[in-house]
Structure 1
Amino acid sequence: MITRPTSNSDGNRAGAVVFEHVRKNFGTFTAIPDLSLTIEPGTLVTLLGPSGCGKTTTLRMLAGLEHPTSGRILIGGKDVTMLPANERDVSMVFQSYALFPHMSVLENVAYGLESSGLKAREARKKAEEGLAQVGLAGYGDRLPAELSGGQQQRVAVARALVLEPQVLLLDEPLSNLDARLRRRVRTEIRELQQRLGFTAVYVTHDQEEALAVSDRIIVMVEGRIEQEGPPRDLYEMPTSAFIADFMGEANVVACEVLKIEGRDALIRVGRLDHRVPARDAVAGPAKLAVRPNAIKLGLADDAAFAGRIKHAAYLGDHVEYEVETDIGTLFVVDPATERCFEPAARVGIGFENRGIALINA
């Protein structure tokens, strides 16, 4: 069943997005072999993955800049598979912002409205309202060059939003900003999306960015979906070694599932027994993803198995260690900066209750 477009309290429509068995070939190369997904109206969904995974191709097909080789794409229940970009009810925020440097901020925001046939006075009024929505009221007379990178990004978002699209597309929108500004602007984009309730499809290669802004993350590898779900699920319950390592660093080690007890599995790692969510595990050999901050270090006689510090680095609010053990070298992030183990020191190793997950081998 396809969800029809909805309207929120601000009058903006939010449409569902559906890909049905979409395939995309470029000559003899298959970029997207068979993609099926649904994006619910009013949600922000991030397409995430390494370079060449197909996320940008997927976004471009949704925007109408590329057409599928086969399959269907629907927006708000309407089949748009072969429609050109200007006939789709979407707006796009580009990585480069694509602002006209010779136009004022207000003229940039009003441009799309006037091009669609709106009278100049009405277009100007809606553009002023759009700037106010993104916190730039009073900036209309400035040129883009007179704004900071974050402000230019908000102008690009305002220009897209004033067209009241069913879906807003954002292609690596923060890649041109420095780290501190990225954190602030991603928060602003997320707050704006939640307040206005529009559907957004966001493309990035930055895992932290995806975790911070998304209702749902779709991780793509070689044109297929490797795993999808809420940010917490992907981080805390990865289904593969790739996801465990891609969504933040992880130590992937061998373990043995001793038995299943309800929703828990009793596992053994080295000589340490521990309980973790069972998921679909069965008794026998398995793989375990352990986050660096889920490993506890103590004196050598405080834990079931021991290790030796290979490398230590003090980084202000935490210490990073490489620890040699019988199950391999472990990367550890320890917040206990009041004490620091020196290289060659013997340590005891334990696990926290969170940050550990059984994964498919």
Structure 2
Amino acid sequence: MSTATAGTVVFEHVAKRFAGFTAVPDLSLTVEAGTLVTLLGPSGCGKTTTLRLLAGLEHPSAGRIFIGGKDVTHLPANERDVAMVFQSYALFPHMSALENVKYGLLSGGISQREARDRAREGLKLVGLENQGDQLPSELSGGQQQRIAVARALVLEPQVLLLDEPLSNLDERLRRRVRTDIRDLQQRLGFTAVYVTHDQEEALAVSDKIIVMQEGKIAQQGAPETLYRSPNSVFIADFMGEANILACEVESLEGDEALVRLGRQLYRVPGSGAVPGKAQLSVRPQFITLHTSGEGALPGEILHATWLGDHIEYEVKTPLGSLFIVDNQMESRLPLAANVNVDFKPQGLALIAP
């Protein structure tokens, strides 16, 4: 399957207004050719509207959209060289898997023979070459979603669009199919724009994540950058669980800040920080509890929940209640136990004022 058609996507000051409501006020972004970029955010943040604008299912109120260097702002969906994978699979129930994958090719005027060959290649790509004769009702949810992916890929679009593609699958299938999608994207090198509200899903599949809030970009960057260096409380809390604590920046040394948290000092990335009061994002799995010795904060166990592969604690401290994830599972601390709380520096991130 060709990978030469991967296109760059550019939004230049795009706005989308509906009657009495602005979904996207002024959006500029770039998706580099051959990358998978995820639009992430809560319901109503504008991510699905942005995807529909790219697909040609909505048209912008202002601004321009480019695919592969071509201005597609006013082109209809069928002239944009994109293909879309929907949340609902949208398979024809009376057609076999092979016929579903062939359908778009035949609609585009390709001969029966070539459409059949390309459809079989598409099924092979997603590991379903032996299920071509089966109806959608005879396939699992994960298999149906892979059929939908194959149907889109055989069109060899410049950009593949995926709208919450895993939301109808159970957790185990979501992990499997998201791995399949990421492997395919890296192997074939196509451009993909992926929409989800699930931060774990975004972290797993993306070259870049664009987090949206009220139709604007709140932060964008590599998954690790957004997780380790959130630029706001919103990003810290949305990109996984985070405790937000008051702290004091005592001094700066190059790109590092010396931060006081309770009774301890920690060195954390501090680019752009200034001395004085600040806020710190603390990931729950980077907090340790001790029943002896000294830590940064004294604490008291309020709640302890055993979840098989980890224990979740709520601990009362002078800086507020902390949510803590213990993956070591060495022992389960009793309720009301007095503890000392300490922090691993790699789980700390200063939040810009």
Query: Could you say whether these structures have the same fold, taking a TM-score greater than 0.5 normalized by the shorter chain as the test?
Result: yes
Q: Percent identity among equivalent residues?
A: 69
- The CA distance in 1 between the partners of 2:65 and 2:99, in whole Å, is 33
1:69 matched to which residue of 2? 61
Could you report, residue by residue, the CA deviation over 1:5-47 in whole angstroms, capped at 9, with x for unpaired residues? Answer: xxxx844410000000000000121100000000000000000
User: Counterparts of 1:38 and 1:88 in 2: how far apart (Å)?
Assistant: 17
Counterpart residue number, 2:331: 339
* TM-score normalised by the chain length of structure 1: 0.96
**Stretch deviating more after TM superposition (346-355 or 168-177):** 346-355
Distance 1:130 1:173 in 2: 18
CA gap of 1:304–1:204, structure 2 versus 1, over 3 A, is closer
Q: CA deviation at 1:305?
A: 2.7
The answer (yes or no) to whether the contact 1:316–1:337 under 8 Å persists in 2 is no
Q: 1:285, CA displacement in angstroms?
A: 0.6
Residue pairs, 1:1-361, within 5 angstroms: 10-361=2-353
- Deviation for aligned residue 1:301: 3.0
Report which stretch shifted further, 135-144 or 52-61.
Answer: 135-144
Alpha-carbon distance in 2 for matches of 1:336, 1:75: 48
The secondary structure found in structure 2 opposite 1:258 is strand
The 10-residue stretch of structure 1 (176-185 or 119-128) with the greater mean CA deviation from structure 2: 119-128
Letter in 1 for 2:339: V
CA contact (8 A) 1:300 1:346 kept: no
Mapped to 2, the partners of 1:271 and 1:244 lie a distance apart of: 24
Q: Do the aligned partners of 1:150 and 1:181 also contact (CA within 8 Å) in 2?
A: yes
8 A contact 1:300–1:306 mirrored in 2: no
SS state at 2:165 partner: coil
Q: Take 1:15 and 1:176, find their aligned partners in 2: how far apart are those partners?
A: 29
Q: Secondary structure at the match of 1:111?
A: helix
SS of corresponding position for 2:350: strand
Describe the SS at the equivalent of 2:293: helix
Helix, strand or coil at the partner of 2:260: strand
CA RMSD of aligned residues (A): 1.1
SS at match of 1:81: coil
Gaps of 5+ in 2: none
After superposition, what is the alpha-carbon deviation per residue over 1:214-266, rounded to whole angstroms, capped at 9, x for unaligned? 11100000000001111111111111011111111100010000000122111
**Rounded Cα–Cα distance in structure 2 between residues aligned with 1:134 and 1:304:** 51
SS of the residue aligned with 1:18?
strand
TM-score scaled by structure 2?
0.98
The answer to whether the 8 A contact 2:3-2:189 is kept is no
